[in-house]
Amino acid sequence: MGIGGQLDSPARHAEKQNQTAGETGGDMFHPAHQSEEQAEMYEEFGQYAGCNVLVTGATGFAGRVLVQKLARTGARLRVLARESSNLGELADLDIQWFRGDVCDEEIVQAATRDVHYLFHLAAAFRETHPNEEDYRRVHLYSTQLLAKALVDQPQFRRFLHVSTVGVHGHIESGRADENHRFSPGDSYQKTKLEGELWLRQFGEDTGLPYTVIRPGPMFGPGDMRLLKMYRMISKGFFVVLGDSRGLYHLVHVDDATNLMMLAALREEARSEVFIVMSDDPIRVVDMAKVIAKKIGREVRIIRLPVWPFYIAADICCAICYPLGIAPPLYRRRVDFFTKDRSFDNSKVKRMLGYRFRYDNELGIEETANWYLQNNLIR
């Protein structure tokens, strides 16, 4: 549905959304697939029924999962997406599409009119945005446009802003919580932090209702970021750079999107920041061994010195970025092996009463099964 199109009645809209989302995303709200705790949570999600809900970043991995869940609630969905975005399975959902730049003031004004909830997931891709200002446009300027468009709308209920745990950088020891010092390691993380801090100050100054989520790397069925790792392990080896611990802290996309939806509804989450991670970090080497076990392979760990890869990453970026080509290697990809990421998720569990459904092993297994079923690994 385009700008200005006719909307269905709430009852008809919910019926159509349930039918379509059940075909594309699985019937996750069916009582047979729920624990009692999950059933209560999904009942709470029913508060979105009939509400105007705007999502940015909806065509990304987490955004697609979130939109399909929101569709199951009977929400009146709006999505602001670039003209070049691949809609995929979302094309079959009853969505009011606003196609264009998230920094286009005219489109933002139209998309935010009469909105009750905003889920702001839009992010710039590291591989194709070498200029810090490109990151800043998406992470800061779009946040400013959206917030200013919504602040004076009396029906508006919550700005759910998705930041990143990357704003904390390398965690030297222990587990970092929401109050840990900031140490962004690249332009992506730096501008993510700028957007988050601006929104929090704007919310304090104006009363705009907001909640900030800082998720870790999300994984699960549909994730393509970890595919290279799975493919390497499926060939019987895994290359590790350097000799650090290489702690990695993941969160399953199902848990992450559940918490986005809960936080936007809960009054106690207003003006709060939440780290959203699974219960435990995992060493990259141990992760490789779990993957090998789940796909039925023996894996040989090969350790290589890290410094040549940082040099190679800098050369790749220097050559590829001026040509508009995504570099095959960049510093953040090398950091995967050298930085430790370990976080404390107790605040979100305590304040929202949430129990994470996925540990590392279950999430790794489910992701492996999806890759196998879709012939992405053999």
Q: How confident is the model at residue 336 (pLDDT cuts 50, 70, 90)?
A: confident
Angle at 333 between CA 291 and CA 212, to 5 degrees: 90
pLDDT, position 214: 98
User: How far is 219 from 294, CA to CA, in rounded Å?
Assistant: 15
Mean pLDDT of 152-158: 97
Give the chain's domain count. 1
- pLDDT beyond 50 at 32: no
User: How far is 52 from 349, CA to CA, in rounded Å?
Assistant: 28
**Number of Cβ atoms within 10 Å of the Cβ of 163:** 26
Residue 377 lies in a domain: no
106 vs 9, more confident:
106
Residue 271 lies in a domain: yes
- pLDDT beyond 50 at 76: yes
Residue 74 lies in a domain: yes
Assign residue 264 the CATH number of its domain.
3.40.50.720
Q: How confident is the model at residue 21 (pLDDT cuts 50, 70, 90)?
A: very low
Residue 289 lies in a domain: no
Among 8-17, 126-135, 279-288, top mean pLDDT goes to 279-288
> Residues 159, 206: contact at Cβ < 8 Å?
no
> Residues 252, 193: contact at Cβ < 8 Å?
no
> Residue 154 corresponds to which tokens in the numbers above?
């009396």
Query: Residue 303: helix, strand or coil by DSSP?
Result: strand
Residue 83 lies in a domain: yes
pLDDT, position 145: 98
User: How far is 136 from 125, CA to CA, in rounded Å?
Assistant: 12
Return phi, psi of residue 75, to 5°. Answer: -65, 150
Residue 285 lies in a domain: no
- pLDDT beyond 90 at 57: yes
Torsion over CA: 199, 99, 75, 219 (sign): negative
pLDDT, position 33: 53
Give percent of the chain with pLDDT exceeding 90. Answer: 68
Mean pLDDT of 197-206: 98
**pTM for this one?**
0.87
> Residues 242, 301: contact at Cβ < 8 Å?
no
> Residues 256, 68: contact at Cβ < 8 Å?
no
Q: How confident is the model at residue 172 (pLDDT cuts 50, 70, 90)?
A: confident
For residue 73, what are the contacts with CB-CB under 8 A and spacing of at least 6? Answer: 14, 17, 45, 46, 47, 48, 49
Residue 128 lies in a domain: yes
User: How far is 85 from 99, CA to CA, in rounded Å?
Assistant: 9
> Residues 198, 183: contact at Cβ < 8 Å?
no
Residue 232 lies in a domain: no
Name the residue range of residue 23's domain: 10-220+251-279+343-357
pLDDT, position 3: 37
